[in-house]
Amino acid sequence: MFHRSLSNPAVRILIPFISLFLIFGTFILFGWTKIDPTDYDPDDIIRQEERDILFISNVVNEKSPIEKPFGLAVDSKGAIYTGSSDGNIYKIKTDGQTELFAKTSGRVLGIVFDGKENLVACVSGLGLAFYDPKGNENVLLREDSEGNPLINLYGLDIGSDGTVYFTEVSRKFSYEDSYLEELESRPNGRILSYDPRTQEVKTVLEDLYHPTGISLSSSEDFLVFGEKYRHRVSRFWLKGKKEGKDQFLITHLPGSPALISSDSQRNFWIALSSPRHIAIDKIQNFPILKRGIAALPFFFKPIEGELAYILSMNEEGDISLSLMDNTSDKLGSITSALQYGSGILLAGFSTQKVWKWKFETLEMFF
């Protein structure tokens, strides 16, 4: 009987479809509770009068072992440091030569030098760590005050008193599963502080939507932070009459904020590393559909696009520069922008390169 059924052309056509249905049905059944999605209305994109001249950038590390550079920091002698996806931190000397600075116990994201020439880093999978001038790793923090592991750290900045402010993008999903955060649309992230003198850990601000980059103001009375899956940058007051309050500074961004740095001119430099997921924006009001997508195997996850886009914002929240590489795509995704001499250093996450864009480029075109 079974063999007779197989001889029927219609049955032979249906079997593969039924098999696929059963396979996907099994994945959805067991992954149905992977996220607890809610619905929300994404904001519309508001353009910032972008200038498409970022492609006129020079490579800093022509030949080097750096893979997917992320954060950027510069020491007192002008050498550039960046984390690599191979788990190492590399040093690019002023002559352009690259050398291994430190081997880490995770994936280095945000990095900042403290006042003692130690490189402090958010290390995904590990916690908060610092690397002395010889590249020796010392773990500052693995857990919060309640014993919860801090393995999803992203960006940081350090106050003049040594206090480290840093972001935890999610208390639920890993760095690799961050797309689930966008589908769930719930505030699983927070900002914390660490005082190395007392070793005290505090929660500064919680219920954030995948907080990424963070930077202190020049007077350290407030900090600025990005939320990747709300496509916005906000301010949180640490001192003064507004202490404990937060406010949106830039919303309706065309991409996802990555790391944020500040310069000597009281400006913040904000990198947007990926364009918005237009398809996901369209399904944010359909929690059941989002739950089904999250339940599918990992290789069906939404792929982030590439975006080379940086913003310069003053401490009042006004945009002074909006630059992008939309013409050539040679810079790939930019995860970090840091003022350096007469220009801006850029970490090209998908090009294996660190770039420098010079301010004189503006004079060439405008």
| Segment 183-221, tens digit of pLDDT | 999 999 999 999 999 999 999 999 999 999 999 999 999
Looking only at Cα atoms, what is the longest distance across the chain? 83
Q: Which pLDDT score is estimated for 302?
A: 84
Q: Which pLDDT score is estimated for 29?
A: 46
* Cα–Cα nearest to 152, from 218, 101, 82, 208: 208
Residue 124 dihedral angles phi and psi, to the nearest 5°: -60, 130
pLDDT beneath 70, residues of the chain: 1-33, 365-366
Q: How do 246-250 and 211-216 pair as beta strands?
A: unpaired
Residue 258 dihedral angles phi and psi, to the nearest 5°: -110, -125
> Are 312 and 268 spatial neighbours (Cβ–Cβ below 8 Å)?
yes
Cα-Cα-Cα-Cα torsion 285, 290, 292, 298, nearest 10 degrees, comes to 170
Which residue is associated with the tokens 């909006």?
322
Q: Which pLDDT score is estimated for 3?
A: 53
Q: What gap in Å lies between CA 268 and CA 327, rounded to an integer?
A: 25
Burial of 332 (0-12, 13-18, 19+ CB in 10 A): buried
Q: Which pLDDT score is estimated for 32?
A: 52
Q: What gap in Å lies between CA 271 and CA 357, rounded to an integer?
A: 13
Burial of 251 (0-12, 13-18, 19+ CB in 10 A): middle
Q: Which pLDDT score is estimated for 112?
A: 98
Tokens of 135: 């590249």
Instruction: Give every CB contact of residue 144 below 8 A, 6+ residues apart in sequence.
Output: 150, 192, 201, 203
Instruction: Look at residue 325 and give its three-state secondary structure.
Output: coil
Domain spans of the chain, in order of start: 1-32, 45-364
> Are 85 and 48 spatial neighbours (Cβ–Cβ below 8 Å)?
no
Q: Which pLDDT score is estimated for 167?
A: 98
Instruction: Give every CB contact of residue 133 below 8 A, 6+ residues apart in sequence.
Output: 117, 118
Q: What gap in Å lies between CA 234 and CA 248, rounded to an integer?
A: 4
Where does the chain have alpha helices with state H?
A: 2-6, 9-31, 178-184, 278-283, 287-295, 360-365
Q: What gap in Å lies between CA 187 and CA 181, rounded to an integer?
A: 9
* pTM reported for the whole predicted model: 0.90
Q: Which pLDDT score is estimated for 30?
A: 45
- The amino acid sitting at 11 is V
Tokens of 236: 């949180």
Q: Which pLDDT score is estimated for 296?
A: 86
Q: What gap in Å lies between CA 254 and CA 27, rounded to an integer?
A: 33
Domain range 45-364, its CATH number among 2.40.10.10, 2.120.10.30, 1.10.1040.10, 3.20.19.10: 2.120.10.30
Q: Which pLDDT score is estimated for 11?
A: 47
> Are 140 and 131 spatial neighbours (Cβ–Cβ below 8 Å)?
no
